[in-house]
Structure 1
């Protein structure tokens, strides 16, 4: 791979840059493959993935010896793991060093699609914490909904809003993660076509856009709250320069993440860098020094609120119909239904943590919500017509019938092909591969209806 000379020239004075090894690593073009397991679904990585070693800075991350065909892995479709670039998993370390995860936090992942950092955050937060995952581009927001649904947790919401829309809820979030759109030089090994699109003009444009995004979302961070800023760019204009801009313009102070772990950070191959003006500390990943792609992260704390503090309103109980029938039906599908709040909207039933009732009203009043908690389905005269999201959730009752299928049948199911499993079951059942549910099916005697969502089906054939 031939790297842009303008990029190499611009990196000559950047902290940690080692020209010979950097260029050689890109010439080899070998990019490591890594996954992060979903601890709410599995405790260890699937054996068939051929694990090489753990990712040192993430408790759930693992490198693979080779990149498999994830499309044809039922474990992937069941949401037991997420394919994520290893360097970006450093977010876990940053979160643990900057906030108290024992507290119930309100967290925003602002530029969240396709969902790597959101699923990571979801695995770290307490059940009573709330994660809002936002994506401004509608098509990418749909992908984000799919991936958050796979992860299966009830305390995650997905919104489709511009960053400036969040200023309506000033001081709401305890933690904001901004993985900002960037020039993408840190991902050249994974996406060689990005090399052609890279230019100094694009770096400058991205830097301006990053400043605008940060300024737009800043009011929604509470005083004392934490902002984690990251990019997959090597350019100073998108990293160290942004650190100085944040401190100079946003009433923020830099947070040093490795005060007690400087040696550990160095052993991991992570480079500690400083901004030119304020000497703020950030963290760089170079692929010739840390096992991953190019990545940058810095942490800030808001020191002063320039807005009227936002207070969550008290929600007065409202008299509604008893939903006696609906409760009876849902209790057969959901473990511990009494521990959740559920409600009906447009004939669909949804389930959320009751601690988030006021949060839902706040978000509904100010933002466009694409997903809130878990979509359960519609209730007919006798039973629930379940949604795919419920099948992949972690709240599904053990009373719900499960039909385990072979690998070949699992792929046929995921392709939405016709097949008739050998079963005496009747009615709705979760279709599972090695006990991991993929979606719904309905057995009707000598006929079987495949309810896997058409838009998610596998379109290609086995290699």
Structure 2
């Protein structure tokens, strides 16, 4: 890999930079594959990857993170589609330390993941929060917001609101959030080993433009952070302009203080200092992961409180809600209708969800349960993926690996003794989605937009 000379020159003098080791690691074919397990669906003792010969070892700064000994075909692993794990770069899992060391995660929190697509950090945050907390997962680009929604649905949590807003829109929520995570759009130099196109697109001008955009994003969203709230800023760039310079600019321009994190020596993460602040850089020749930078801040001043409002969203009448009792426990849920779609919101956060629906462009919230047709529910895929579904009263049909892949491809397949009616198609005990078994066929309700398009089937051993 030919790294730009201007890029190498820009790294000179950075704490921990070793030019020879840096160039060598970029020229070495040393792929690193890591996943993070979904604790609401699976535990670390379970087999999480189909296929022979895949071993896992822990990512040291993330309780549910694991390195894999080789990269399997995730596309053809039903457990991937069931939301049992997320394929995520190990360095970015350091977010867990930033949250755990600065925030009491057992409290009822309101957290914003501002630049959230495709969903790695949002699903990670959701795994760490209490059920009474609320995560707002936002993406400004509409197409990427759809991918974010799909990954949130697959993960299965019920306390998330997915939005499609510009950062400046969050000025409407002064002092609303306890934590704001900004994994900012950047020049992407930390991912050169994974994406050679990023090398070709890198330029000093692009770095400058990214730095300016990062400042605009941060300035727009900071009013939404409450006093004593936590800001977590990160990039997948090595550039000082996008890392240390932003750190210095935040402290100089806003009433923020840097929050140091405790590192374990064996992690080999490099701590950097700039203008009375601390940041953390991941060099790929020191850690088992890609390039990454993070810094954490606490807001010292108040910027007001969210305005008072009257709830506008009406919950479904008790009679209609009762029809959903066959599918889930409705005692701690409230159901709302948008068009012909019925969403389940946590009762404890009904007013928060309603407030967000009034102020932001919400594209998904809680759990989409389905549509009521003559007091009967036509269940949505999201309900199958969620943990609010009462699986004890729903017929589950266990599929073999071959059948599961056919189901995920939306191909025809048959199941002996499957019974009749709505059923959960499952693999290894984990739901994949719905199918409706009729006397002469199986109607496959796996979403068309999520289906596996590839035709090559790997070795099933």
**TM norm. shorter chain > 0.5:** yes
Match in the other structure for 2:39: 39
Match in the other structure for 2:8: 8
Report deviation, 1:308: 2.8
Match in the other structure for 1:268: 267
* CA-to-aligned-CA distance 1:41-94 (integer Å, 9 cap, x gap): 001252545233100000000000110110100000000000000000000011
Question: 1: CA distance between counterparts of 2:447 and 2:190?
Answer: 35
Q: Is the 8 A contact 2:48 2:79 kept in 1?
A: no
| Alpha-carbon spacing, 1:171–1:271, altered in 2? closer, same or farther (3 Å) | same
Q: Is the 8 A contact 2:342 2:370 kept in 1?
A: yes
Q: Is the 8 A contact 2:316 2:334 kept in 1?
A: no
- Given the alignment, which residue of 432, 436, 439 partners 2:430? 436
Runs (4+) of structure 1 moved beyond 3 Å? 311-318, 320-323
- Given the alignment, which residue of 392, 403, 406 partners 1:412? 406
| Alpha-carbon spacing, 1:424–1:382, altered in 2? closer, same or farther (3 Å) | farther
Report deviation, 1:421: 1.5
2:344 aligns to what SS in structure 1? strand
* Count of matched residue positions in the alignment of Structure 1 and Structure 2: 452
Question: 2: CA distance between counterparts of 1:455 and 1:434?
Answer: 24
1:284 aligns to what SS in structure 2? strand
Match in the other structure for 1:323: 318
Alignment of 1:28-427 (within 5 A): 28-44=28-44, 45-46=46-47, 48=49, 50-258=54-262, 262=263, 264=264, 266-275=265-274, 278-305=275-302, 307-310=303-306, 313=309, 315=311, 322-324=317-319, 326-334=320-328, 336-381=329-374, 383-397=376-390, 398-427=392-421
Report deviation, 1:356: 1.4
* CA-to-aligned-CA distance 1:299-346 (integer Å, 9 cap, x gap): 0011112x332256575997x77431x333211111x21111112221
Report deviation, 1:359: 1.1
TM-score scaled by length of structure 2: 0.95
* CA-to-aligned-CA distance 1:330-369 (integer Å, 9 cap, x gap): 11111x2111111222122111111211112221121100
In structure 2, the gaps of 5 or more residues are: none
Q: Is the 8 A contact 2:186 2:235 kept in 1?
A: yes
Question: 1: CA distance between counterparts of 2:380 and 2:100?
Answer: 34
Question: 2: CA distance between counterparts of 1:223 and 1:404?
Answer: 51
The CA RMSD measured in Å over matched residues stands at 1.5
Question: 1: CA distance between counterparts of 2:165 and 2:152?
Answer: 17
2:331 aligns to what SS in structure 1? helix
Q: Is the 8 A contact 2:313 2:336 kept in 1?
A: no
| Alpha-carbon spacing, 1:424–1:286, altered in 2? closer, same or farther (3 Å) | closer
Q: Is the 8 A contact 1:52 1:64 kept in 2?
A: yes
| Alpha-carbon spacing, 1:346–1:29, altered in 2? closer, same or farther (3 Å) | same
1:108 aligns to what SS in structure 2? strand
Report deviation, 1:400: 0.9
Question: 2: CA distance between counterparts of 1:122 and 1:312?
Answer: 27
Q: Is the 8 A contact 2:234 2:295 kept in 1?
A: yes
Question: 2: CA distance between counterparts of 1:413 and 1:186?
Answer: 37
* CA-to-aligned-CA distance 1:358-395 (integer Å, 9 cap, x gap): 11222112110011100001112252101010010011
Report deviation, 1:2: 1.5
| Alpha-carbon spacing, 1:317–1:148, altered in 2? closer, same or farther (3 Å) | closer
- 47-56 vs 238-247, greater mean Cα deviation: 47-56
2:323 aligns to what SS in structure 1? helix
2:393 aligns to what SS in structure 1? coil
